Amino acid sequence: MRLKLLIFLAFAILISACVQAPQSTNNTTQPNNAPKDANKKLKIGFSMATVKEERWQRDQAAFKAHCEKMQVECAITVADNNSAKQANDVENLLTQGIDVLVIAPQDATQAATLVDKAKAKNIPVISYDRLINSDKIDLYISHQVPVIGKKIAEYALQKVPEGNYVMVYGAGTDNNAVIMKKEQLAVLQSAIDSKKITIVADNFIPDWKPEEALKMAENALTQNNDDIKAFVVSNDGMAGGVVAALEKRGLAGKILVTGQDAELPALQRIAEGKQTMTVYKPIIPLANSAVEAAMKLGKKESLTGTQMFKNDAIGKEIIAILLEVTTVDKDNLMDTVIKDGYAKFEDVYKNVPADQRPQQK
Amino acid sequence: MSETVKKSGFKIETSSLRAYTMLGAMVLIWLFFQWQTGGIFLTPRNLSNLMLQMSVTGIIAVGMLMVIVSGNIDLSVGSVLGLAGGTAAILMYFYGYGMTAAIVAAIAVAILIGIFQGFLTAYLNIPAFIVTLGGLLAWRGAIKGISNSQTVPVSDETFKLIGQGNMTLISGWILAGIAILALLFFTYRRIQAQKTYGLGEANLGGEMLRSILPIGAILGFIYVMNAANGVPLPVLIFIVVALIGTFITNSTVFGRYLYAIGGNSDAARLSGIDTKFNVLKVYAFLGLLIGVAAVISTARQASAEPGAGVLKELDAIAACVIGGASLMGGRGTIFGACLGALIMASLDNGMSLLNVRDFMQELIKGAILVAAVGIDMIGKKS
């Protein structure tokens, strides 16, 4: 009994000693609202919703690389398509003492609470690529999602002015998918009204899952006896599922299929003629601009190159930096993604016989 | 011995009773969709799609049924499917391996994980729920790691055929012929066995009636599939797996041991059954089936995505439960599990044809799942 008491006391003393120690050695961290000295590295927190798609892998890599180049610290978290996890991630970042918060939200509305948390600590917030439904964000930086939606629909309409259309939208919880749907329908509306095109099936696909897009395409083809002229698909992952469904029916290459993100498998499908187009969004300029904007906000400098953007979901205008995008199809593959070094020639044309590949410049 | 319920002269085991009730429910669901889709639901092409869309879940459900019957569970199924499928795709795309090597590797990975998880559950006494929950997280992390979270495309045409090809019409009919002959053979054997074991003369009329329905179903099935260009290969694989599963659970010692272990594992152990080894075996078998399902799923999508299989385990468990399995163990049939998978796929397919919004589909499926099992439970005498 005495021995146990002794051991217990020893532990108690040890633990209290440990609790004291950090305070004495730790004099380098400062509370968030203390003035920053110029020598201290800025710390940017980047909370990502997912890195599952290839493009997000690039965002993550480019963001990290640019932070190192600009000599700022960055902490990146990934929420795996889980908004509860993203909430935890953001709280952890705020606890770590970041100066600026960049969020690529999993859920546009839930992320507004996260914005409030950051603003309560006077931390500037940047909404990255996906729009957060909050009027408190300091900046929205993206590739003009409405323009992407518009370009996809315009491309489809130009190549297929008449016939049955199937609209495969992204996740209903992702603001980008909602914006793209709105823009696509706006472009197609007059053709719909004049009965030139008919939308025979349309739906949001949970989490942008390719497998669900495959099933939707299969069922749409069955229902319309293969009489579909265009699949307006909002990203490359889902386009892959749609093309698989077409391949089974021997229709790959005969029906227009759109996409977004310029993922390597999609570029390969375009080279083979199975997918018709995708949208190339240079990721590196996006990530770089985000880092630089974060630095400016962190140092309380003013931003440049901004414009006002209306968030229809909340009916407010916000400050935004919007970057250019390019549609990519078989004809301009060489001049866009390959010329920029975004993708390698050998990778993109891997499944195309050597004699059918275009000349490399 | 399983309890039987006499219903107008036919003996039906109570564990199959739920399955037959669900059969009735499925017919209702089919008729409903046939009406609502304006006659498209029951066309050969859509039925072929339906069977195709249920085959991956169905194959997994067969294995899951056996695990559940033994009183265990496996929550890692979806993640293992993603990992196995990803392994196959990566080997082919990045390392240039052929189709056979990739398939073997995928199935091997799944079996090894099954053995590993089975060992932890059976021999180290860690609850199956925890082991496989850990597996759900870990194996998902693994596939994201080795694939760099990127979708890996599959270009091998033969491999893709596994998921996208059909049997020829003739082989479909040959298959039907073999199935009918086998059915008649087993019926004959059953009649003989009744005589041999002194159980009295078999009711020949009853036996004939019992055979007509399955024979009709086989013929009808092949006819419909052939009208839509042949039996899809994944469906063929699913049927083979289901038959093997039925054989194991009904006619092998291993299968009966599973029911014993699930019914009362202490009694089973004290009766001399090596409960630990049998549990290990059932997890390994489920692993084998997951590997097969992964190959089919990857071939069908012509790519392996890091999110492949997410929530598949819940589909499989729901299929088993709808079909009459008890999560406590000891009851459930393969036939029921396959029926459960078919019902859920029918709901998906029908609602997709009707263009029901994504969130609505989830709501409806959840409601029907609870209602189906609930109504059945209320009707049962406790």
ipTM score here?
0.81
Contact yes or no for A244 and B301 at CB 8 A: yes
Contact yes or no for A222 and B45 at CB 8 A: yes
* β-pairing verdict for A326-329 and A277-280: antiparallel
Tell me if chain A has a CB within 8 Å of the CB of B18.
Answer: no
DSSP structure class, residue A211 = H
Say which of A172, A244, A264 has its CB closest to residue B359: A172
In angstroms, how far apart are the furthest CA atoms of chain A? 93
Instruction: Using pLDDT thresholds of 50, 70 and 90, give the confidence band for residue A31.
Output: very low
**CA pair distance A236, A205, nearest whole angstrom:** 13
**Token code pair at residue A79:** 């929420």
Strand partners, A309: A318
* Any domain includes B219: no
**Token code pair at residue A71:** 């000599």
B265 torsion bin: left (phi>0), alpha (psi -120 to 50), beta (else):
alpha
Task: Return the residue of A nearest to B356 by Cα.
Answer: A203
* Residue from B93, B235, B347, B358 whose CB has the most chain A CBs within 10 Å, to mutate: B358
A57-A63-A68 Cα angle (round to 5): 130
What are the phi and psi torsion angles at B308 (to 5°)? -60, 135
R_g of chain A, CA atoms, integer Å: 25
**Token code pair at residue B156:** 């091998």
Tell me if chain A has a CB within 8 Å of the CB of B349.
Answer: yes
pLDDT (average), residues A48-68: 90
* β-pairing verdict for A316-322 and A307-311: antiparallel
- Is there a contact between A112 and A134 (Cβ–Cβ < 8 Å)? yes
Interval A184-236: pLDDT, tens: 999 999 999 999 999 999 999 998 999 999 999 999 999 999 999 999 999 99
**CA pair distance A83, A77, nearest whole angstrom:** 12
State the CATH architecture for A145-280+331-356: 3-Layer(aba) Sandwich (3.40)
Instruction: Using pLDDT thresholds of 50, 70 and 90, give the confidence band for residue A1.
Output: low
What are the phi and psi torsion angles at A104 (to 5°)? -105, 100
Contact yes or no for A219 and B297 at CB 8 A: no
Number of domains in chain B: 1
pLDDT tens for the 382 residues of chain B, in order:
444 444 444 455 555 677 778 888 899 999 999 999 999 999 999 999 999 999 999 999 999 999 999 999 999 999 999 999 999 999 999 999 999 999 999 999 999 999 999 999 999 999 999 999 999 999 999 999 999 888 899 989 999 999 999 999 999 999 999 999 998 888 888 888 888 887 766 677 777 777 888 899 999 999 999 999 999 999 999 999 999 999 999 999 999 999 999 999 999 999 999 999 999 999 999 999 999 999 999 999 999 998 899 999 999 999 999 888 988 899 999 999 999 999 999 999 999 999 998 889 989 988 988 887 787 777 665 4
Instruction: Using pLDDT thresholds of 50, 70 and 90, give the confidence band for residue A18.
Output: low
Q: What is the mean pLDDT of chain A?
A: 88
**CA pair distance A135, A319, nearest whole angstrom:** 10
What are the phi and psi torsion angles at A186 (to 5°)? -60, -40
A351: distance to nearest CA of chain B, Å?
7
Task: Return the residue of B nearest to A238 by Cα.
Answer: B301
* Any domain includes B41: no
- Is there a contact between A260 and A231 (Cβ–Cβ < 8 Å)? no
Tell me if chain B has a CB within 8 Å of the CB of A347.
Answer: no
**CA pair distance B154, A38, nearest whole angstrom:** 52
**CA pair distance A215, B324, nearest whole angstrom:** 27
- Is there a contact between B62 and B245 (Cβ–Cβ < 8 Å)? yes
**CA pair distance B40, A182, nearest whole angstrom:** 30
Q: What is the pLDDT of residue B12?
A: 53
What is the domain-level CATH number for residue B82?
1.10.3470
Q: What is the pLDDT of residue B7?
A: 45
**CA pair distance A303, A292, nearest whole angstrom:** 9
- Is there a contact between B53 and B348 (Cβ–Cβ < 8 Å)? yes
**CA pair distance B126, A235, nearest whole angstrom:** 42
DSSP structure class, residue A42 = P
Question: B97: exposed, middle or buried (C-beta count within 10 Å: 0-12, 13-18, 19+)?
Answer: middle
Whether residue A50 is predicted with pLDDT greater than 60 in this model: the reply is yes
Chain B contact set for A166 (CB, 8 A):
none
- The parent domain of residue B81 ranges over 53-165+232-379
Judge whether A43-143+283-322 and A145-280+331-356 match in fold.
yes
**CA pair distance A188, A198, nearest whole angstrom:** 10
The identity of residue A88, as a single letter, is N
**CA pair distance B292, B106, nearest whole angstrom:** 8
Distant-in-sequence, close-in-space partners of B289: CB < 8 Å, separation ≥ 6: B59, B60, B62, B63, B241
**CATH of the structural domain A43-143+283-322, one choice from 4.10.93.10, 3.40.50.10860, 3.30.390.50, 3.40.50.2300:** 3.40.50.2300
Residue whose structure tokens are 């370009």: A151
B361: distance to nearest CA of chain A, Å?
11
Task: Return the residue of A nearest to B149 by Cα.
Answer: A52
Tell me if chain A has a CB within 8 Å of the CB of B229.
Answer: no
**CA pair distance A74, A199, nearest whole angstrom:** 45
Chain B contact set for A203 (CB, 8 A):
352, 355, 357-358
**Token code pair at residue A68:** 């190192």
The answer to whether the Cα torsion of A178, A184, A187, A190 is positive or negative is negative
Q: pTM (2 decimals)? A: 0.81
Q: What is the pLDDT of residue B171?
A: 93
* Residue from B56, B147, B150 whose CB has the most chain A CBs within 10 Å, to mutate: B150
Contact yes or no for A237 and B305 at CB 8 A: yes
Chain B contact set for A210 (CB, 8 A):
151, 301, 303, 305
Show the beta-strand stretches assigned E in B82-228: 152-153
